[in-house]
C-alpha cells in the first residue's frame, strides 16, 4: 500500500505505482503508513477485543438533547452557523473555553484562545510556526503517537526525556537540555502531557510541576502542555495546569474530544499573545477558519446541558473500566509483566518480560482476537519494543476482561516458546532505531 | 499588532511585544497579517457596502430542513457522527462527492477522494506534501489570495502566468515553464482556477483546456485544479473539468462551501492514487480526521434535499446580482475604468485608470462606506496596484448598486485630484514588488 522511500529503493518495480515518488517535499518522507496498519484493519472486526484504540466511549451522551440543541441552532442561527467565521474561532465558545480551563486553575482571556480542528491541529499549528528542519522537540519517553507524527512531518528531531511513576523526571530533563545544547541543536519546545499520560498512564505530581516549569524558565524553553484528559481523573479535583502558574512560557492545548465529542473536532490552544497571533495566521492559511457549525454546536451543548455532570458520569464509567482492566491484569498476566495504575484517562502501559517483542507478537495476538499498540509506536527512536499500550476507554468491562485473558494466553505461549528455544529465539527489533510505527491515527 | 520581521527590524521596541520573535520557524516569516486588515474590520460595519468579501449568500437555504436532518442524524447515528472517523473521510460522502463531480464530466472512484476541512485545507495539504522551500508554483496572474498565502507559508516561490479574457494564456504558460527551468528551479505544480476565476472572474475556454493539459503533460507538470465555483455558472451546462480528461496529471479540488455551507467546512481533493495516500497521511497528521459530524451532516443534506434544485436557485440569485453589478458599473464608473463580465461565480476584476492606486485609495473608499479588495492582494510580487476585485455574492442587488455608486464617487474624486496635481501626485506601490497583502482570510 504505502510508498515509503525504503520500499521504493529496495523494490524498484514499486516506484511505478507512484509516478510522483521523486517529486514530493522532503518532509513527505516523514509521512509513512505503518507496517502494522493493515493489522489494525483486521483488529477492527467485532470478534477482536481492541485494547488498541483511543476512542472515547460516547454512548452516555444525551443524543436527543444534542440533536434538539443543534436543530434549534440551525433554525435560529443557521445563517451564522453555516457561514464562514473568524479564523480565531467563535468568540462565545472562546469564553466558554476559559470557563472550562478555570477548573484547572487557569485564568485566561478569550482573546488568547485559538480554536482548532481538534487539539491535533493545535499541535500541528504550533509545530508549523516554530519548527524548522533539525530543530529539537523534547518529548516524554514514551509520547503521544499523533504528536510524534507531526514533529516528524515537520522534520523536527524528537529527543525523549525519561518518565517515572511521578511523570517527567526533572533531572532527566536537565540532562537532555544540556546534551542537546552541547550538540549545537536548538530546542523549540518541550511537548508534555502532564495528566493521565498517553500512552504511559502516569501523571506529573504536584510537587514536580514547579520544578519542571523552573527548568524550562531557566533555559528559556517553551512548554507545550497537551491536556486532553485533565478533567477525566478518577479521584479528587482536577490537577492544577502548568499554564495556571506560568502564562508566558506555556502554550496550553485543550479539547472537547474526550469530554464531549471527538467527531465534532473542536480543540483549542491558549497561547502567549504574540504566539496566538501567529497561530491565527497559521489557522487561516490551513483552513481559513475552523468550522463555525461545530463550534456553535459545542457552545450550544455547553449552554444547554449540565456538562460538568456529564463529565462526572464519564469519569465514573472510565474508572469502572480502569478497575476491570487492573483486576484482569492481576488475574491473568504472567508474573514477569509489570504495569502501572492510572489515576485517570484511558491508558495503561505494560512492560513485558525481557526478550518478548510486542510488535512481533501482535499478529499472533490479533489471531487470538485481541489487539494492542506496541510500545515502539510511542518512541521516535525505535525503543519500546518490550512494552505495549492497553486502552480501557472503549470496550465494556466484560470485554476488557476477556481481552486481557486472551492477551495473557498469547503471552504465555510466547514465553513458553522462548523457554523452549532459549535466547536463540529470534528477537525482532529490540535494538532497532529505525523510527516509530504509527498505527494509523491511533483512533481505532 | 502583527510582528512582521520588517517591522521588528525597523522598530526594535516592538520586538519586546513578542519574546518569541527570534524563535519562529523560517516559514513563519511568510505568515504576516495585512496592513489593510484593520480596514476590513471597519468595512464589516453595517453602513459599509462590502464588495470585498467572498462570503456566499446562504439565506436561501432551507434551514428548517437542514436542522431537522441534522437532528435526525444525531438521534439515529449520533455515536458515529460524534465519534472519530476515517482520516480519508466518510465513505458515503465520498460516493456522493463522486456524484457531484460527475456533473463536470469526472468519472472517479470514492477511494481516490480525500475529504478536507474546506478546500483551503486541500490546498494546504497538497502544498505540504509537494513543496520544499524554493520550489516554484505556477499561478494565474492574479490568483486566489488564500492559495498564495499557503504557498508563501511553505516558502514556495510563486510565478504568475498571464491570463486574458479566455483564461490562462497557453503561450504564457510555455514561456513561464521555460524561464523557470532556465533558472534551474523546480516547478511543483500549476495552481489554476479554470471556472469563474477568483479574483479575475474569467473562465478558461473549452478550446484552451486541451492545450493547457497538453503543455503540462509535455513538461510533466502536475495541475492543481481548484474549482469551488464550477456549478455556479449563469448560462448552460457546467464546464467539463480538466480532471475529466486527465486523471493522472491533475489533482482536483472541490468544496461544498459555495453550493451548501462554508461554515460546515467540507471540501475535498480527488488525486491520483499514490498522491491520495500521501494526502491521507498528511490529513491524519494535521487533524487525525476531518469532522465526522460535518461530513455526515452534508451527506444527510444531499440525501434529503433536492440539492441540484437548490444550486439552480443559487445560480439565479447570483446572476441577478452579477447583472446588478454590471448595470451599476456601466451607469456609474468613470469611462477610463474597464472590467469583464463574469459568466458565473462571485467576482469582477476592475482595472483603474493609469496612476490610480487601489490600495492607497481604500481608506478613502471605506470612509465613503464602500469596500473592495485591492488587486495587489492577488499577486505574490506586488503587481496589481491599479486593479481591484469586486464581489457581487453577498450584498443585495440594491446594495451592490449603491456600493458601486459610492465607489465611482471616490474614483471621480481621485481622478480629479490627479488631473489637478498632474503626474506629480504620489503613486503608491505601482512598481512595488514587496509581496502581497492578504486581507485577512478573504472572507469578509
* pLDDT tens track for A106-143: 999 999 999 999 999 999 999 999 999 999 999 999 99
Question: Which chain A residues are closer than 8 Å to B18 by Cβ?
Answer: 274-275
Rounded to whole angstroms, the Cα distance separating B115 from B266 reads: 7
**Nearest neighbour of A265 by CB, restricted to B20, B59, B291:** B291
DSSP-derived 3-state class of residue A350: strand
| Rounded to 5°, angle at Cα B351 from B349 and B352 | 140
Q: In this predicted model, what pLDDT tens digit does every residue of A329-359 receive, in sequence order?
A: 999 999 999 999 999 999 999 999 988 999 9
Question: Which chain B residues are closer than 8 Å to A129 by Cβ?
Answer: 24-25, 27-28, 31
Least confident of A14-23, A43-52, A229-238, B208-217: A14-23
Which positions ≥6 away from A105 have C-beta within 8 Å? Answer: A240, A241, A244, A245
In this predicted structure, what is the pLDDT of residue B440? 54
| E strand residue ranges, A249-309 | 250-255, 267-270
Phi-psi region of A369 (alpha: psi -120 to 50; beta: other; left: phi over 0): left
Rounded to whole angstroms, the Cα distance separating B186 from A285 reads: 23
Rounded to whole angstroms, the Cα distance separating B218 from B213 reads: 9
Q: Mean of the per-residue pLDDT values for chain A?
A: 91
Residue labelled with grid coordinates 479575475: B200
Task: Provide the shortest C-alpha distance from residue A1 to chain B (in Å).
Answer: 8
Rounded to whole angstroms, the Cα distance separating B155 from A5 reads: 24
Interface probe, candidates B265, B271, B301, chain A, greatest A C-beta count within 10 A: B265
Maximum C-alpha span of chain A? 71
Task: Provide the shortest C-alpha distance from residue B8 to chain A (in Å).
Answer: 13
Confidence of residue A169 (pLDDT cuts 50, 70, 90): very high
Confidence of residue A178 (pLDDT cuts 50, 70, 90): very high
CB neighbour class for A265 (10 Å; exposed up to 12, middle 13-18, buried from 19): buried
In this predicted structure, what is the pLDDT of residue A6? 37
Mark yes or no for CB contact A129/B25 under 8 Å. Answer: yes
In this predicted structure, what is the pLDDT of residue A432? 37
Task: Provide the shortest C-alpha distance from residue A18 to chain B (in Å).
Answer: 5
In this predicted structure, what is the pLDDT of residue A18? 79
Least confident of A82-96, A420-434, B159-173, B176-190: A420-434
As beta bridge partners, residue B253 has: B226, B269
In this predicted structure, what is the pLDDT of residue B39? 73
Regions in chain B scoring below 50 on pLDDT = 1-16, 425-436, 441-442, 444
Question: Which chain B residues are closer than 8 Å to A265 by Cβ?
Answer: 287-294
Which of the 8 DSSP states describes residue A258?
Answer: T
Looking at per-residue pLDDT, the higher value among B11 and A215 belongs to A215
Percent of chain A with pLDDT over 70: 91
Rounded to whole angstroms, the Cα distance separating A308 from A237 reads: 12
Task: Provide the shortest C-alpha distance from residue A408 to chain B (in Å).
Answer: 29
Which of A325, A258, A20, A32 is CA-nearest to residue B274?
A20
Question: Which chain A residues are closer than 8 Å to B79 by Cβ?
Answer: 58-59, 61, 63
In this predicted structure, what is the pLDDT of residue A31? 85
pLDDT at A103 over 60: yes
Residue labelled with grid coordinates 492559511: A285
Question: Which chain B residues are closer than 8 Å to A272 by Cβ?
Answer: 19-20
Helices (H) and strands (E) in chain B, counts: 13, 14
In this predicted structure, what is the pLDDT of residue A29? 87
Percent of chain A with pLDDT over 90: 84
Task: Provide the shortest C-alpha distance from residue A209 to chain B (in Å).
Answer: 23
Which of B73, B2, B12 is CA-nearest to residue A284?
B2
pLDDT at A441 over 60: no
| Rounded to 5°, angle at Cα A118 from A289 and A216 | 105
Confidence of residue A437 (pLDDT cuts 50, 70, 90): low
Least confident of A166-170, A275-279, B308-312, B439-443: B439-443
As beta bridge partners, residue A137 has: A158, A189
| E strand residue ranges, B49-180 | 49-50, 113-116, 136-141, 157-164, 167-168
pLDDT at A201 over 70: yes
Could you tell me if B291 and B256 are in contact, meaning their C-beta atoms sit under 8 angstroms apart? no
Rounded to whole angstroms, the Cα distance separating B153 from A125 reads: 12
Could you tell me if A368 and A409 are in contact, meaning their C-beta atoms sit under 8 angstroms apart? yes
Interface probe, candidates A82, A129, A155, A296, chain B, greatest B C-beta count within 10 A: A82
State the CB neighbour count (10 A cutoff) for residue B229.
28
pLDDT at A173 over 50: yes
Residue B198's φ and ψ, nearest 5 degrees, are -105, 110
pLDDT at A245 over 60: yes
Amino acid at each position: 500500500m504505502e510508498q515509503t522511500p525504503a520500499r521504493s529503493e529496495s523494490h524498484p518495480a514499486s516506484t511505478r505505482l507512484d509516478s510522483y515518488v521523486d517529486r514530493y517535499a522532503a518532509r513527505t518522507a516523514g509521512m509513512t503508513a505503518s507496517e502494522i496498519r493493515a493489522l489494525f484493519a483486521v483488529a477492527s472486526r467485532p470478534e477482536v477485543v481492541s485494547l488498541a484504540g483511543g476512542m472515547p466511549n460516547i454512548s452516555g451522551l444525551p443524543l436527543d438533547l444534542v440533536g434538539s440543541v443543534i436543530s434549534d441552532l440551525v433554525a435560529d442561527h443557521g445563517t451564522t452557523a453555516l457561514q464562514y467565521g473568524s479564523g480565531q474561532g467563535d468568540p462565545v465558545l472562546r469564553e466558554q473555553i476559559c470557563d472550562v480551563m478555570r477548573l484547572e486553575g487557569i485564568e485566561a482571556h478569550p482573546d488568547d484562545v485559538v480554536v482548532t480542528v481538534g487539539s491535533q491541529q493545535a499541535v500541528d499549528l504550533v509545530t508549523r510556526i516554530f519548527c524548522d528542519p533539525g530543530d529539537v522537540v523534547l518529548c516524554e519517553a514514551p509520547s503521544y503517537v499523533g504528536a510524534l507524527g507531526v514533529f516528524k512531518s515537520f522534520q523536527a528531531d524528537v529527543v525523549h526525556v525519561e518518565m517515572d511513576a511521578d511523570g517527567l523526571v526533572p533531572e532527566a530533563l536537565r540532562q537532555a537540555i544540556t546534551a542537546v545544547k552541547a550538540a549545537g541543536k536548538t530546542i523549540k519546545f518541550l511537548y508534555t502531557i502532564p495528566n493521565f499520560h498517553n500512552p504511559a498512564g502516569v501523571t506529573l505530581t504536584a510537587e514536580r510541576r514547579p520544578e519542571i516549569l523552573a527548568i524550562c524558565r531557566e533555559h528559556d524553553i517553551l512548554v507545550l502542555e497537551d491536556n486532553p484528559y485533565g478533567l477525566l481523573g478518577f479521584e479528587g479535583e482536577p490537577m492544577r495546569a502548568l499554564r495556571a502558574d506560568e502564562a508566558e512560557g506555556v502554550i496550553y492545548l485543550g479539547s472537547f474530544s474526550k469530554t464531549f465529542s471527538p467527531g465534532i473536532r473542536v480543540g483549542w490552544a491558549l497561547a502567549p499573545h504574540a504566539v496566538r497571533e501567529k497561530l491565527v495566521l497559521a489557522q487561516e492559511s490551513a483552513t481559513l477558519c475552523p468550522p463555525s457549525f461545530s463550534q456553535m454546536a459545542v457552545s450550544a451543548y455547553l449552554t444547554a446541558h449540565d456538562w460538568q455532570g456529564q463529565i462526572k458520569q464519564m469519569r465514573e464509567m472510565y474508572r469502572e473500566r480502569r478497575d476491570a482492566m487492573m483486576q484482569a491484569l492481576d488475574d491473568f498476566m504472567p508474573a514477569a509483566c509489570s504495569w502501572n495504575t492510572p489515576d485517570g484517562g484511558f491508558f495503561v502501559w505494560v512492560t513485558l518480560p525481557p526478550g518478548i517483542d510486542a510488535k512481533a507478537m501482535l499478529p499472533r495476538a490479533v489471531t487470538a482476537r485481541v489487539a494492542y499498540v506496541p510500545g515502539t509506536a510511542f518512541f521516535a527512536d525505535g525503543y519500546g519494543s518490550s512494552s505495549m499500550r492497553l486502552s480501557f476507554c472503549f470496550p465494556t468491562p466484560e470485554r476488557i476482561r476477556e481481552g486481557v485473558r486472551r492477551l495473557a494466553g498469547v503471552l504465555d505461549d510466547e514465553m513458553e516458546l522462548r523457554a523452549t528455544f532459549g535466547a536463540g529465539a529470534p528477537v525482532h527489533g529490540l535494538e532497532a532505531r529505525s523510527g516509530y510505527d504509527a498505527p494509523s491515527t491511533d483512533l481505532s
